[in-house]
Chains A and B, each alone.
Chain A
Amino acid sequence: MSNVVLEVRDLGINFGGLRAVDGLNIDVEKNQLYGLIGPNGAGKTTVFNMLTGVYEPSDGTIKLNGELLNKKKPHEIARKGVSRTFQNIRLFKNLTVLENVLIALDTQADYSILTGVLKLPKFFRQEKEMEEEAMRLLAVFGLDSDAHTLARNLPYGKQRELEIVRALGTHPKLLLLDEPAAGMNPQETQSLMDAIETLRNTFDISVLLIEHDMKLVMGICEKITVINYGTLLACGTPEEIQTNPQVIKAYLGE
């Protein structure tokens, strides 16, 4: 029971009169790769936005290792250990690859302006340590050789990977990946799948991912939740999901 990292209960949100998500339950266990899938407009990104504090849920609870996250601000939730990437890449494009990761690391360092301005030796030592850690993280995706390139000059696939590295920089317990393979070719998708597995094992984190690429989802996720019109349609192992008639109906029609 204590193995559950993310516990979502009866989660719901209204946008005006629209019930975008309703009565959703998710349990992500420690070190689990968990998939959240559903047809377009099913409310997947809305769920992510509630998990990260961008939207405030109308009802239900979100707990991270037993701690209630509802009503916390996005930056607080990020510091508690929930980090994410975006469907449309949202890197700091005019900063270097390294700086993108350092920003995430900095927020964990609990810096103060005074440390930066006054305690110079400590500050420089800390900066150096952070830079080394950032390079280690970048190396997971082989991005360390591009450390001083501006993020916007990276090829598309690498930008997606950099977003994951940046998210790892906040030392998350739970990593949320919003369509990590969107726009990638089959080879890139394959190497991404391998990388997600690797980082889950190396960094000992849980991963919750939204994805349309069924090969990726079925290939690496241990558990999958399918939502449609904001409500739970099915939940189970990839095999169970693939043979679930309701899921097939939602995706392919009658």
Chain B
Amino acid sequence: MSGINQFLMQLINGLNIGSIYALIALGYTMVYGIAKLINFAHGDIIMVGAYVSLLCLNTGMPWFLACIVTIVVCAVFGVVMEKLAYKPLRKASRISLLITAIGVSYLLENAFQLIFSANPKPYPGFITLPNIKLGSISIAANYYVTFIVSVVLMVVLNLFIQKTNVGKAMRAVSEDEGAARLMGINVDNTISLTFAIGSALAAIAGILYSNCYSPINPFMGSLPGIKAFIAAVLGGIGSIPGAVLGGFILGMIETMVKAYISSQLLDSIVFTILILMLALKPSGILGKSVKEKV
């Protein structure tokens, strides 16, 4: 009986971390789809979100206001990052963009270390709803709130991309930037908007993550960022349902490995998955394999 309970608990843990990975992976995959760029600084937006929300909460701001400010700040931050670091390189080779993205990531981590010091800062969790009892197990508020918020955001995002004209423009740019331009789509604005949405999602992920895993530090975004990247690749980079699926699968694998195999081997196993995926099916679970026409 307790074996089953333990398994259920792990399942819930997996859904929790999985939904955070999925939220971050969405940003990776959207930016990749539109700008053909793996934005390695994307994970650090989580950290920016965590610190901004911490600062807001410390001023005594109510939590919902703190969340809104954080989301707006991170969205603007993402747009500025694109304009300053990536836009000038849009015609450069992919590898230059990739290296720039790594540079931006280090820049953010070290700048925040300089400002806030490397010491972890306790995060005042503000999700204070009661636990939910399911049979003999009880689920902490952090866990179910994270899951619900993530799922709602994913559904909204999907509707936005499928149904609205801006979403259609995004898909058009991702398919053929040149043709989209000639159909009257402002590609620059569309790219900015993509960065804004991706960063806003990362900000929310940062807030949720900090609520679950206080304290926060300037390097907190790095590992979840890389894991979310693996999730995006696993699901098929560029594919939105793929990012969600990859996030949940990865969260689940990670939790189960931690619980039943070895927490020390955790990261090696996760990265092995990435290597295997890239070797066996580089287009990912839901990705389209592109066949070169000759």
- A74 contacts B168, CB within 8 Å? no
Tell me, yes or no, whether A156 is within 8 Å of chain B by CB: no
Tell me, yes or no, whether B36 is within 8 Å of chain A by CB: no
Tell me, yes or no, whether A4 is within 8 Å of chain B by CB: no
Tell me, yes or no, whether B94 is within 8 Å of chain A by CB: no
Among listed B42-50, B60-68, B178-186, B240-248, interface-contacting one = B178-186
Interface string of B156-188 (1 = CB under 8 A from A): 000000001110110110011011111111110
- A93 contacts B175, CB within 8 Å? yes
Tell me, yes or no, whether B277 is within 8 Å of chain A by CB: no
Which of A73, A83, A106 is B165 in contact with, Cβ under 8 Å? A106
| Least Cβ–Cβ distance between A96 and chain B, in angstroms | 10
Q: Please indicate the chain A residues that have their CB under 8 angstroms from the CB of B288 in the complex.
A: 94
- B172 contacts A103, CB within 8 Å? yes
Of B172, B186, B187, which is in contact with the most chain A CB atoms at under 10 Å from its CB? B172
Please judge, given known A-B contacts A103-B169, A113-B193, whether A79 and B182 are in contact too, CB under 8 Å: no
Q: What CA separation (Å) do A95 and B169 show in the bound complex?
A: 11
- B184 contacts A170, CB within 8 Å? yes
Q: What CA separation (Å) do A90 and B179 show in the bound complex?
A: 6
Interface string of B92-122 (1 = CB under 8 A from A): 0000000000000000000000000000000
Tell me, yes or no, whether A78 is within 8 Å of chain B by CB: yes
Cβ-closest chain B residue relative to A105: B165
Could you tell me how many residues of chain A have their Cβ less than 8 Å away from some Cβ of chain B?
33
Label chain B's interface by main secondary structure: helix
Which of A79, A92, A94 is B184 in contact with, Cβ under 8 Å? A79
Q: Please indicate the chain A residues that have their CB under 8 angstroms from the CB of B185 in the complex.
A: 75, 103, 107
Q: What CA separation (Å) do A38 and B64 show in the bound complex?
A: 65
Cβ-closest chain B residue relative to A126: B165
Please judge, given known A-B contacts A103-B168, A113-B166, whether A92 and B179 are in contact too, CB under 8 Å: yes
Tell me, yes or no, whether A160 is within 8 Å of chain B by CB: no
- A104 contacts B183, CB within 8 Å? yes
Q: What CA separation (Å) do A91 and B178 show in the bound complex?
A: 11
Tell me, yes or no, whether A186 is within 8 Å of chain B by CB: no
Please judge, given known A-B contacts A74-B182, A107-B184, whether A94 and B171 are in contact too, CB under 8 Å: yes
| Least Cβ–Cβ distance between A80 and chain B, in angstroms | 9
| Least Cβ–Cβ distance between A232 and chain B, in angstroms | 25
Cβ-closest chain A residue relative to B167: A116
Q: Please indicate the chain B residues that have their CB under 8 angstroms from the CB of A99 in the complex.
A: 168, 171
Please judge, given known A-B contacts A92-B172, A92-B175, whether A75 and B184 are in contact too, CB under 8 Å: yes
Q: What CA separation (Å) do A90 and B181 show in the bound complex?
A: 12
Q: What CA separation (Å) do A108 and B186 show in the bound complex?
A: 12
Q: What CA separation (Å) do A54 and B182 show in the bound complex?
A: 8
Of B164, B171, B181, B184, which is in contact with the most chain A CB atoms at under 10 Å from its CB? B184
Q: What CA separation (Å) do A113 and B186 show in the bound complex?
A: 13
Q: Which residues of chain A in 64-91 are interfacial with respect to chain B, using CB atoms and an 8 Å cutoff?
A: 73-75, 78-79, 83-84, 86, 90-91
Of A84, A90, A91, A166, which is in contact with the most chain B CB atoms at under 10 Å from its CB? A90
Which of A93, A102, A166 is B168 in contact with, Cβ under 8 Å? A102
Please judge, given known A-B contacts A92-B176, A95-B172, whether A116 and B182 are in contact too, CB under 8 Å: no
- B179 contacts A107, CB within 8 Å? no
Please judge, given known A-B contacts A75-B181, A103-B172, whether A116 and B186 are in contact too, CB under 8 Å: no
Please judge, given known A-B contacts A54-B178, A93-B175, whether A102 and B165 are in contact too, CB under 8 Å: yes
Q: Please indicate the chain A residues that have their CB under 8 angstroms from the CB of B187 in the complex.
A: 75
| Least Cβ–Cβ distance between A132 and chain B, in angstroms | 15
Which of A111, A113, A166 is B183 in contact with, Cβ under 8 Å? A166
Cβ-closest chain B residue relative to A86: B179
Interface string of A102-125 (1 = CB under 8 A from B): 111011110101001100000000
- B176 contacts A83, CB within 8 Å? no
B interface residues with partner A (beta carbon < 8 Å)? 164-166, 168-169, 171-172, 175-176, 178-187, 193, 288
Can you sample 11 A-B contacts with CB below 8 Å? A54-B178, A83-B182, A92-B180, A94-B288, A95-B172, A99-B171, A102-B165, A104-B184, A107-B183, A166-B183, A170-B184
